[in-house]
Structure formats: C-alpha cells, structure tokens
Structure 1
Amino acid sequence: MNRMNLGLFYEACAAPDCRRRGKDLFKCGACLLVHYCGPEHQRAHRPAHKTSCLLVKQARAAAAEAEAELRARPGDDYAPAGVLDESGGALGLFWGRFPATRPYMQALHDHMTACLNLRTGEAVEAALARALEMLRLCRGDNLGVRSQVPVLYLRLGRDQEAFDFLKWYAVKGTSADYDWSDMSQPFLDLTGEDALEDLSKPFRKVKDLSFLASVTLVKTRLMLDLVALSAHVDEMEKKKAEGGEEAKAEGGGDGDDRPTKLSYEEKMEWVREEALSDIVLARRDIVDRDDYAPLIQDVTGQVARLYQLTEHHNKHYWPALGHPENYSHALPEAYTWGSKQETVLAFRQTWYAWAECNPALETVRQFAEWTSNAS
C-alpha cells in the first residue's frame, strides 16, 4: 500500500520543512530510527531529537545487557538454564513463573516506550517488534502491552493484522476454556480473517478500552475506503460513458464499443494509491464487484454498533478525541472501568492512531456530535 497515506514518515528526512524521502537517506547512528538527507539537516534537527535519541540508545543498550545477564544465569528456581531458548521450557511463562526474567521484560518494555517517543514508521515498527516479543515470552502479559499492539499495527497501515489480533483476543482470549499456562495451546494464531465480519457481539465481552477503540478504527477505515472507492468508480465510469457518447456523436455511427465499467486493475490503481489500510488491497472479492452499497451499509452499521459499545463501556473516551489537550496527562497508577482515568490510559495508547488518520478521526467526531445532539 501507499505509505504516503499514513501520518507517519518512512525514510523521510526528519529536519523541519525538508521533504526529501527515499532509500538514499541515512539513519541517525544512535537511535537508528530517524533519517536525514545530509549532515546539515541532522545538525539542525539535533536539539529537538537529542533527548528522545538518547533515551532510545540507552534503552536498547539496557535491553541487550539484560538479555546477556539472563543468558548467563545458571539454572535455578527463578529461571531454568537456557531460559531464552526453545529447549528451556520457559517461553511464554516469563515474569510470573520465573521472576529472574522480570528485569529483561522490563528492559524490553522500556525500549518499546522509548521508541514511541519518536513519530516515524521505523520507530513504531521497532516498538511493535518489542511488544510482540514480549507477548511471545509472556502470554499472561503482566506489563499490558497487548493493548498497544493493534494500535501499532494500525499506525503502520497493517489493519488486517490488527483485525486478526483483536479477533483472537475477543473470541479466544475471552474463552473460559483457554489455559494461559498451557504452552501447547495456540496463541495469536489467527491470520487473514474476514475483516467484513461483524465483531460487535464478541466484543461485548471485551473490557479493554483500547481494544474497543482499535476495532472501531479498523472498521471506520474500512468503511471510508469502501465509500471512497465506490465514489471513484462511479465518477470514472461516468466519464467513460460520457466519452463514449461523445465518440458516437463525432463518428456519426452506431457508437463506441469501449466498455464503460472499470476493470479490476483500474480499480486497484486507486486502491494502491489512496486506500487508508491494507484490507481492501488484499481482497479482490471486495474490489471487483459492481455494487458497493450493501457492503458500505453493513460496515457503517458495524461502526455505529462498535461506537455505541465503546461509549457504553466508557462515556469519556469519544469526547476525549475532540479535546485531546484535556487527556494528555501522565499515566494513571490505577483506574476503574468507565472512569476518566481509564480514558487517560486508553487515550495515551490510541490517540496517534486516530490523529494520523484524519478522515477516521473526523468521522468519529461527527458520531460524537450526532450522539450529543440526539441526547
């Protein structure tokens, strides 16, 4: 897909007002997550970048040191020998079962957090890699990184993977039969799930506000892509038809036999350049159809239901997107479901995913206005 549609910058010079992008840029040698087109722009950006850069560099070094210390440990009750190897029998059971793994897990979390101080695609990818590694090591997720994973997928335009992740937790992760301590059980094993599926019902069991916001964003972006694709196809087919009529009038014959319907490849040209996410990109059955109206109606209904479900869980979340300045506080130490403190936490986790996709943000803000006016 076209990464230009994302609010993140990939392979782009980080200097203010510089528009250079491409493979010929070089990375900051310390954080490895920011690009520059030349030494002059790197020096110009250094005052703004220095603090975040140092945090990432230090956190990455601390994670490497913590890993080395963990690998060097002899086997004992706090962690078996070869704890980071498949043969060690500890993978998936870090933190809770083996306390000696906690400094390493905390170091991974600190590195992930440091990366997210930088708003580049490379930084978000690095944070996502750390989060997924932490879930692989600790299925119980004592540090709560699962709430951020779908958001990071969404910031990268990887909506299909966000949907798969969210569906797994909504369907399998909420099952009373799932044994989190049994490493033979499948974990996060859903791939390529049907993103048109209505998840409103399974998400009634989900208590994670960030999950609710994320699945609403997945569906909102899908809805916007369908609406925009439909409008594009209608416009282009109208132009084709008008061109045929003009050719017919000029030729004085029976008319132009050129097809007026857009081909699949013609539709895909728009999808590759304009789509907000990768879901439609991979679905020929969605793109190559004559009438998008039923799909648009169905997905729009899903967005409305998920919006209402999120509002029912926490009435503060949607208004927060309209007033972000009121919710960018320090993370709360504790919260209860439905509280403003819960919204502060979820806002901090999800805000950039909304802000980096302005059409989706404006859509839910309109929902908020309609809801407020209706009440």
Structure 2
Amino acid sequence: MPVVLDRVHRCALCETTQVGLLRCGGCRLVRYCCRDHQVQHRSKHKKTCKTSVELRNRLEEEEDLVRHATPDFMTPANAFDTHIGHFWGVVTTRDYMQARFELADYAVGLRTLDGVREGLDHYKDMIRLNRSDNMGLRDRVPALMLRLDQDQQCYDFIKWYATGPDDNYDWGDMSLPFLNIRDADVLEDPAFLVREWGSLNHQVAIQLLKMKMLIDIRQLKIVKKVLRGRLPVELWNLVEQEAVRSPLSSRFVGNSYTELVKTEHMLSLQCRKLGVGILDTNGGFTYELLECNQETLDYRPEAYCHGSYEERALAVQNCYAAWQETAGALELLKDARSCAARNSENEVQTYLKHDRDGRTPEQMLSDLSVNRIWGYLEYAIHNGSYLGPPEDRPSERYYREARALAEEEGPDRMLFSDEESD
C-alpha cells in the first residue's frame, strides 16, 4: 500500500516538515529540505520525475494544438475561446483532455500534498471545460477534497449533482446554474443521496465526511473527560480547536458534553442511513473497502454496471486513500464489524441452513458482520470515547444485557433481530 498523505509538505528523503522546503523543478510534485537530500534521493526519484516531465510536455503540446487549430466546419480555431463548457463536443479537444487526465492521475498517485492539490485542480478545471463530464471526473473530485480537508466544498459539490440538474437540464447551456451551491447544511438529513441509482462515490464521500465529524466529536468528548477542571478557561478553546481535524467541526468547539452527545447521536443515525443506502447501491462495497488489497487498487475495468464488482472496485480506488488518511475512520468501521460479529455468532447455524452458496461458518459470520456494520456503528462510536477497562466497554455491556435478556426469554431467541441489527 502507498504511504499516507500528510496535509503538510515533507522532504521526500528524511520526511522533515520544516518551513520552506524546496520543490523539485522537474516534476514540481516532490519537495526536499536541502539540495543534498535532493541529490541523495535522485536515483529513486529519477523515473518519477522523468514521467511527470513527459506528461507535462505532452499536455503542453496538446493544448497548443487546440489553441492554434486550423479551423474547419468541425474544428474551431481555439476551443478555449469558443467552447468552454462543452469541450467533449469538439473531437479535437479529446486528446488534450486525455493528456490532462493522465497527468492529474499520475500526480494524485504520488500521494504528495503538491500532487493531490494539482490533480484536484486539473479535475475541477476539466469539469469546467466540459460540464457534461464524459470522463466521470465528478466521481474522483469529492475524495480528493476530503483528503485536503475541503469538507464544505465537497458537500456543496455533491449536493449540487444530487439536487441541482434534473432530467431536462441542458448541459450545453452555459447560462444555466452550474455547481453554484455554497455553504449547504452538512448536518442535514442525507435522504437526497439515498435513492435508487444513486452515485456510490458520492454516497461514500458524504459518509466519510460525516464520520470525520463524528471522530472529531469523539475527540472533544475525550478532551472534556480528561482535562475538565485541569486547564484555565483561556486555554480550553485552544485545546479543543487542536483536537478536531475537519474545518466543519469548529462549530462543535465550546459545546457542552450534552450538546456533543446529541449531535453525535444525530450523525450516527445519518451514517446508518447512508450505510444502508450504500448497501442498496452496491452490496459488496463495504467488504471491499475493509478488505482492500493491491489487486483491487490496480484493477482497471473498461466499463461497469450498477451494483457490479467493477463499480465498487473503482469506488474503492477513488476513496481508499481518503479513508486511510482520516485517522480513526477505518478503525471505527472495523470495531463496528467486530461488534456485529460478536452479536451474530449464535445466528450463523440458522442462516447456514438456508444458505445456497456453500459458505463455511467463518464465511457466513464474515458476511453477516459486514452487512450489519451500520447497525452497530453507534456501539463503536460509544466505544471510541470510553476510557475504562476493556471488559466494560459499552459494546460489551450491551452484549451482556442482550444475552441476559435472551436467556430469560428462551434459548431459541436471537440476541438481535434483523430489524435491530441490519
């Protein structure tokens, strides 16, 4: 797996984060703390640098061809002057768009701060040049925004695509509003995304965005538990501000513990709704995300259909780095999966009796736990801010209470019904 992106520049050799790092003049995607480290790293960086320069040169050549084309009845003299918004309709611009895509894709793949920023800028401008987005760049943009903590921009971007254009929207009409939503309410119900034929990439991005806020609330709760009464009032807000990552979470700084718990519960219910929506859109996505491997990240399908393996593989490729770089996000899902597995063990044999796929008990438990993750997310959230003995974690208490209730009502009672856990 590639290294995790930091939201600070690092020397490619020693990984220092000091101010004023020098950027490679060739690729413009990698930085160094000094000339000596650049020289030492040259043997490893040479191929990357050469490829980046070649991609930039090709892009410049293709752009020059578009800007200085010989006009005819199908080709404008300069599409940048006459066809902004519907580039794809001019066939001679497609080589330029492909060259720009390849440079952006390569830059993002390096997982440096400069690379991700440049890739996102390319994708956004390519959408500006071609509103109908025949290349599907709108699926890539949200996760890159989240990686750069552009969370509000991500939400506005997705909400416009989900609620702005209708079936009669004319993508070629430049007078119509386009990506014009600003400062939408990130705490609103995500029902507008949970719909038939919804965008898997956009559902997953909003799920991660809301989980980033949940993780920040968890951090604020822990701060209050650990430091309550131990800091001067004038330092309290500073500590809380440092505890959160998402810019959206600054609204929670200074909230009371009760207010945090209330917001946490609301967000957990929204995440559950989104999780069920993701399950309906592509039932295997969550499993692929949690069990992600290099084979999935390297897979390049030529096409996909709704609900297919190809669709979820592409979605994982688009979003996995964002999940991996959001501290605590994957761990939260894995803990929810563990809670689901613990509480589903006694149901495995019942489900195996009706199984037509020949699954082993281990495979059945794995499938049950993944499908029930979203029903147990709140257990994992409660576990996250718990600071006591492991045996008394909230999920363990809930399990013991449910088991005691099951024993009272009879041995055949399931610990959790499908309605409670799915």
- For the aligned pair, the TM-score class normalised by the smaller chain equals 0.7 to 0.9
CA contact (8 A) 1:313 1:337 kept: yes
Q: Are 1:94 and 2:62 matched, yes or no?
A: no
| One-letter amino acid of the structure 1 residue matched with residue 236 of structure 2 | E
Give 2:190's aligned residue: 199
Give 2:414's aligned residue: none
| Equivalent residue for 1:216, pick from 207, 222, 226 | 207
| Equivalent residue for 1:292, pick from 251, 254, 260 | 260
Give 1:157's aligned residue: 149
Give 1:68's aligned residue: 64
| Superposed displacement of residue 156, structure 1 | 0.8
Give 2:78's aligned residue: 82
CA distance in 1, matches of 2:239, 2:42: 39
Give 1:34's aligned residue: 30
| Superposed displacement of residue 211, structure 1 | 1.4
CA distance in 2, matches of 1:55, 1:205: 42
Q: Are 1:21 and 2:14 matched, yes or no?
A: no
| One-letter amino acid of the structure 1 residue matched with residue 59 of structure 2 | A
Q: Are 1:112 and 2:104 matched, yes or no?
A: yes
CA distance in 2, matches of 1:47, 1:346: 34
Q: Are 1:12 and 2:10 matched, yes or no?
A: yes
Give 2:217's aligned residue: 226
Give 2:132's aligned residue: 140
Give 2:240's aligned residue: 270
| Equivalent residue for 2:333, pick from 353, 360, 364 | 364
| One-letter amino acid of the structure 2 residue matched with residue 327 of structure 1 | T
CA distance in 2, matches of 1:368, 1:91: 47
| One-letter amino acid of the structure 2 residue matched with residue 108 of structure 1 | R
Give 2:249's aligned residue: 280
Q: TM-score, normalised by structure 1?
A: 0.84
CA contact (8 A) 2:240 2:253 kept: no
Give 2:321's aligned residue: 352
| Higher deviation after alignment, 333-342 or 131-140 | 333-342
| Superposed displacement of residue 234, structure 1 | 4.2
CA contact (8 A) 1:318 1:368 kept: no
| One-letter amino acid of the structure 1 residue matched with residue 328 of structure 2 | P
| One-letter amino acid of the structure 2 residue matched with residue 139 of structure 1 | R
Residue-pair matches, total: 338
| One-letter amino acid of the structure 2 residue matched with residue 30 of structure 1 | G
Q: Percent identity?
A: 31
* TM-superposition CA deviations, 1:122-168 (whole Å, max 9, x none): 10000000000100000111111110100110111111111111111
Give 1:247's aligned residue: none
CA contact (8 A) 1:233 1:267 kept: no
Unmatched 5+ residue regions in structure 1?
Answer: 1-5, 241-259
| Superposed displacement of residue 81, structure 1 | 3.2
Give the RMSD, CA atoms, in angstroms.
2.2
* TM-superposition CA deviations, 1:238-281 (whole Å, max 9, x none): 435xxxxxxxxxxxxxxxxxxx8x56x7325422x232221123
Give 1:337's aligned residue: 306
| Equivalent residue for 1:318, pick from 261, 280, 286 | 286
CA contact (8 A) 1:9 1:119 kept: no
Give 1:244's aligned residue: none
CA contact (8 A) 1:168 1:189 kept: yes
| One-letter amino acid of the structure 2 residue matched with residue 289 of structure 1 | N
| Superposed displacement of residue 92, structure 1 | 0.6
| One-letter amino acid of the structure 1 residue matched with residue 307 of structure 2 | G
Gap change, CA 1:9 and 1:78, over 3 Å in 2: same
CA distance in 2, matches of 1:170, 1:366: 31
Give 1:243's aligned residue: none
CA contact (8 A) 2:240 2:254 kept: no
Give 2:160's aligned residue: 168
CA distance in 1, matches of 2:73, 2:269: 53
Q: Are 1:185 and 2:176 matched, yes or no?
A: yes
Gap change, CA 1:279 and 1:61, over 3 Å in 2: same
CA distance in 2, matches of 1:206, 1:127: 28
| One-letter amino acid of the structure 1 residue matched with residue 41 of structure 2 | H
CA distance in 2, matches of 1:27, 1:168: 36
Gap change, CA 1:50 and 1:367, over 3 Å in 2: farther
Unmatched 5+ residue regions in structure 2?
Answer: 342-367, 373-421
CA distance in 1, matches of 2:182, 2:163: 14
CA distance in 1, matches of 2:172, 2:113: 34
